[in-house]
Amino acid sequence: MNSPQINIGIDEKDRVEIASGLSRLLADSYTLYVKTHYYHWNVTGPMFNTLHLMFETQYNELALAVDLIAERIRALGVFAPGTYHEFASLTVIEEDKSVPKAEEMIQNLVIGQEAVVRTARSLYDAVNKANDEATADLLTQRIQLHEKTAWMLRSLLE
């Protein structure tokens, strides 16, 4: 049985291009989720309770976000990446080699949040060209949240 044709007003070439960019966004978001969860488990020091709770809020939000991003990729008719290998090849967020101190965790998460923002912004040309308002809306929501989270994390370093 053949797969049904997708006719959502975005041609296949554009859907594949947008899904490719969303796959990078998914990889960055998932990698940031893993990093944030890792920090939640391993943070120590005088800011333990504050950071432990803050990181939990952040990784829970990221867990919801990766599902939304993957589902958008699927709505575009493309399979979403979902393995560590795929995410490692698509992400710009670096993995930790050891457990950093609390202040370095915060700095690393700022870098990660800002990386997700840059990845999301990089998709707008393709999304706008295809008149893909649904993806544009998703990107806008992701950017707003990650910019706010980066600001809150940076504020802890002042």
Q: Which domains does the chain have, with CATH numbers?
A: 12-156 (1.20.1260.10)
**pLDDT at residue number 5:** 84
Task: Residue 42: name the closest of 102, 106, 94 by CA.
Answer: 102
Q: Is the pLDDT of residue 1 over 50?
A: no
**DSSP track, 91-135:** --SPPPSS---HHHHHHHHHHHHHHHHHHHHTTHHHHHHTT-HHH
Per residue in 91-118, pLDDT tens?
999 999 999 999 999 999 999 999 999 9
Whether the per-residue pLDDT at 2 is higher than 80: the answer is no
Whether the CB-CB separation of 121 and 99 falls below 8 Å is answered with no
Residue 56 has pLDDT above 90, yes or no: yes
Q: What are the phi and psi torsion angles at 147 (to 5°)?
A: -65, -45
Q: What is the mean pLDDT of residues 78-99?
A: 96
Taken as a whole, the chain contains a residue count of: 158
Residues 6+ apart with CB under 8 A from 147: 113, 117
Q: What is the pLDDT of residues 124-154, one digit of tens each?
A: 999 999 999 999 999 999 999 999 999 999 9
